[in-house]
Structure 1
């Protein structure tokens, strides 16, 4: 009996999360924070609304994650007077350090995940995932 695509994706995603979580905890990050940290490190001084749109996360969830990240010193918010209408979000030195550790962890997990795949197979796999994402969202996977 062959496993279906949906279950294969679910199980693989779950396995990847199980491999990632211990390292993420060691870095001091909780679920949801790494993707926000990644976005903010690439788009410094961004707005909360931009983060929510780019990452397909509810604004209330982004707000809660940003509050926790600010409390932990990973990001900082500008004073509303600086931007008149809304706060902007930027990454701190502590956030940059956590982000670098996160990238190292991701690279380690990726190497384990793709053991036995040729370079061509890795590129094809990423292409397939990108196409699937586009089919489901009408968005380019970035």
Structure 2
């Protein structure tokens, strides 16, 4: 069977995801939490809608992941001044520690995945994947 795009991208994503979760499960993290930690690293204090968009997750899934993270002491949710219904999500010190661990694991697995690929090829691969993601968005700028 000749390699094709859809199969190769599914295999790469699945294998990377499995390796991430296997390593981070030992640190007490569950599915969905690593990508939220990664997002909050750069967007600490984001609301749930922004987290859902930034992590490409359904709002209901984000709600469930955040509840688990809050229970585990990784995040705190604080009402926004003037709008008690809108909650901002912040990493706790434990969440910051797990975020650093997540970044370390991402870096190690990225190095493994890109082993033997020259820097110019890496940059080109990333640019191509960005274009693929753009191509899959609808007119509203969202993946269907």
How high is the TM-score relative to the length of structure 1? 0.89
Most deviating of 115-124 and 20-29:
20-29
How high is the TM-score relative to the length of structure 2? 0.88
* Higher share in helix: 1
* Higher share in strand: 2
Cα distance, 1:88–1:31 mapped onto 2, change above 3 Å: same
Q: 1:80 deviation in Å?
A: 6.7
Most deviating of 89-98 and 71-80:
71-80
Coordinate RMSD, CA, aligned: 1.9
Tell me if 1:14 matches 2:21: no
Q: Give CA deviations for 1:84-122 in whole Å, capped at 9, x if unaligned.
A: 232211110000000000100011101111111011111
- 1:102-141 equivalences under 5 Å are 102-137=102-137, 139=141
**8 Å Cα contact 2:45-2:89 kept in structure 1:** yes
Secondary structure of 1:27's aligned partner: coil
Number of positions where the alignment pairs a residue of Structure 1 with one of Structure 2: 140
